[in-house]
Structure 1
């Protein structure tokens, strides 16, 4: 049994939109994380580069400042010395701005302390001498051993800062390398999530909406074709289940209504047939009883024979009417086969027996023969009834014309008589016998002919002829037939 969905179509759409939102958030989060890592790495790299530039500037200005000491007797050199001193202070300030860790700030502090010790010596030389320093002081300052002693701490602090910056750069590069290695996999996460979402959402849409909707459409088609016993599975989202439930309820109501309508029509048809049956049975029975009353002991042989003949005719008439009634009431089951329509007409005429000669009526057939796919026995019986009506209506010395006419789509059989015409126009949807005044009439020939022709997919028409008489036209489709 399929799992029932407990949510509606709106809930399904909300779930789909929620999944889409999650996918967008995951994609945006990964993109933001990568952007933040890249930004932080770039900013850190810029700070480290700036820190190295300023440290190199401090070191360069320091050695230039020491060189200026040898020329302090010259005014421009003294001014350059003090300007370089201010620039070194600016470089240290910028280095502290670039520092972002305690280790970095500690390394900058050591450089600054070493520089301050050097600066004390250099400033004392600059402030105590109103003239250029003596040769001995200059020689000491220029002595490499003295230079290494005075700048040793500064160089060590400078080297420590360079190593720290190199380590920080290596750490940043390793971090970027890890992210670059993860980038293809991280980029695949949204694709994998999108694929999973498409699969899951498609599966849920198919099970909850598409398949139930297809079943609903198929059920609607089945009900439209008259299969009122068909039931649509009540599955899927709430709206589809509601529609299926409503459609099934409508089908049950229609099925009950159809049964009730068929029963009412059957009762109406029986109600219409009962008076006709009573009338058509009562008249022969009354004639039989009246003729039987005439038979007494004094009746002559001729009277007995005449009365017996009347009783037999009444009995035969009752038998014919009952046979026609049963044929009319019995459901038609066609047994079609390719047959010659002219042969069916000939058999229907032959069934009239000697009646045309007895009445002095000529029956003439004309037209080209056609082979059709039809039930010859039923069509012969229908044509026999129509020809019998035409024969009854024709006067002595008259003629009944039977004409075949055909085109690419249909075949027409015209039956023309020279009688007074029909008093009423037959109803193809009549539920009972038609009224008749003919001696041999049952009132069921035309309704039976309607049933047979309609079962073959054709039409039956009645119209008055110019100059008197009636034309009956039987129209049959040519589908499945072929010209002889």
Structure 2
């Protein structure tokens, strides 16, 4: 019903038109059958009238002959007048016969019959006048012979041909009546067959286009209400049911998104309970390490030792700031911008990672820093973002591989590009996600969402792309000056 689906309104209109067409066909078939029957009946009546008129003509002819015999042999005074009356009657029969004849054969037969009758009317009185003049048995016998073998025989022969013609017409009419009956039955059966076919088609169509899709919709609603939000209602059948299925599928998709959002919210809530405790447990040893380093920072130590102690103190301070930023992730971030440089931020992010870089023998390619990379932004938040992204790149890279950082500057923006040769990301990070999947054994999945969140509050942009030669390309777009009033 991909082929375009039809609406229920259109289908009802089609069915109504089909039923109207069937009614018209049935009425037409009935009218044609009635017309054929009436035509055949009229023809039967006409032929019957022809036969009747011919038989009456023959009977009147015999009665006319009787009156002629009565007039000449019985001296009946009124017989001649009756003879003339019968002549008028027979002529009237011929007039009627000529009116109701149709075919040329019928007209020819009636005309022959009429002409023979005229000869009979002319010749018969002359014979009787001749008989009366001689009044002999020989002439009487000749008169009977002449009438029987002459006039009557010719008339009977023509009459027989006429009756044979009419009988043939009657046989043809019977055949026409049978054919008309068959035609009428066929014409009446055709609408009935079409009606049955329409009924069967309607039943099959309703089952496929309405009943089955409706059952699928009911099944889909049951599956979705049971929690199976991935189940889809087939968008088939009539337009209205397809629209219902589409609405149900959209509802299921939105419910799935809401469910995922709820799960992420619950996970964040759990992290919100866990992170402060971890931060507290981390800060205590960090404070002890810093205090110990400060106590050991004695002017009597050599320069190298004092430099190492100062490095410990700086690293502890940096970890302290990052711990604070991690805690801030659970709350709306409030950036504290200051004048700094992008080079200093990148170097600060790389400092704690030197040991990891050495362990995997990773070759780092840093950009050719311009004379100034001044930027007005939150140094600690951005430093932690770059640290997390480089740490992910190191973890994804194999030994002896290369990680490259490039920098492009415009009058208003910096574009920092991080390229690695790792295995690539098995997923596309979603900026709207509260957490993302992680490939690390002990990962929490909040590093990338935190990076998205920081870039957002710093009016920047973060993009992840797969490299054709393998690995991941991470693009960080940052304004040179953070405008808090706009952000």
TM-score normalised according to structure 2 size:
0.48
TM-score normalised according to structure 1 size:
0.48
